[in-house]
Structure 1
Amino acid sequence: MSFFDGMSRPFRLGGIVLIGVAVLAAVVGTTVALTGSDSDQNNAAPSPSSSAPPNQGSPPPGPPSSSGPPSSSAPPPSSSSATPPPPSSSPASPAPGQPGGPPAPGQPGGQPGDSGSNQQVVAKWVTVRVYNNSMIHGLAARAADDLRRQGWNVAEVSGYPSGVIPTTTAFFRPGTDEEAAAKALAASFGMRAEARFPGIEQSSPGVIVIVTNDYKGSANKGS
């Protein structure tokens, strides 16, 4: 015999109704609980890491600035930029008479215009030609002997009949060794020294000494 057999019919009906209501309430409650749980999960706020918008104040990433300090790995300045060594001083010019230097006074190759015995030593190797332009017979030969006694290289003795020379003169070709020789002769024998004139420009090389009536011989009487 069941629990409902001892009850009257009205009570049995009421109990059945209560049981049904209880079952229905349990079903509804379970459904609501499940539905509410799903709704809570769907309505949960997203995590800050997944939903937070990017920081509007931060600048976008970009290439590193080129205006930063130079890398510490840059090579040091080249040592070639250091103070250059002082320029080497030019070698001193050799003294006169030394190898590579100018000739000393009294040596061959000295400067034209030197006077006295030094100039004679410089120029006495130059050929000298002595011509007579006076009425004194043998004056050119006498002058040639005077020159030879002082070491001059007299190569010719003759007369000069092509004109009148006003004074005893040693003629030379400018820019040659004859110029120094002629000036040395002029200093030693009291004569003039001049460049060749047109009448003798094409004559043989050498100093041309044309003696006239005023020739007096060597000015250095002790020679």
Structure 2
Amino acid sequence: MNFLQSLSRPMRLAGVALIGIAVIAGVIGVVTAVSGGGSEQTAAPSPSSSASSGTPGGGSPTESPSAPSPTTTTPASGAPSTTGAPPPASPGPQQGGAPTTGPDGGVPADQAAAKWVPVRVYNNSTVKGLAARASDDFRADGWNVAETANYPYGVIPTTTAYYTPGTDEETAARALAADFGMKVEPRFEGIQNSSAGVIVIVTNDYRGLQSKGS
């Protein structure tokens, strides 16, 4: 007869009940331990989640900034240009360009402006009144005719405009000669002391105002 058989029936029932309670308590303890460990793992933040957070407090990380666009400036004309871009090259002076022409066509502007210089017209031809006719032509072209007369002191081979070197007379004489197809020369000895101005001695070959641009 074993120990349990030697006990009375009530005592045996109580022992069985205690054993059952102990087994149940053990099972509950195991379950509690398992469930408690899993809860701790779930509550702890994962290292990867913490590292990926870009802002304090676990907020969502911000997007990485895009590459900055080049700064632009707006010049006086209103068209934007990229900062740092080389300025457009400005054109240099034109070499060998044609001189500026005046309002009378083909004559440089400084020569056209010399029409204020007095012009003295002398007749050395066999045509009566040729100096007066030439004077009218010069005035019609804007020249300042100051005197009209004859030149009986020798024979001039061709219609010529004479000037005093180093004065505005040279510029005026060249412009007048270009307009009327005349020769241009410095004053010769016989007229060096004459009154100031361009001296035009007209001869039989005088033809009047030449066509512009011819």
TM-score (norm 1): 0.47
Larger radius of gyration: 1
TM-score (norm 2): 0.49
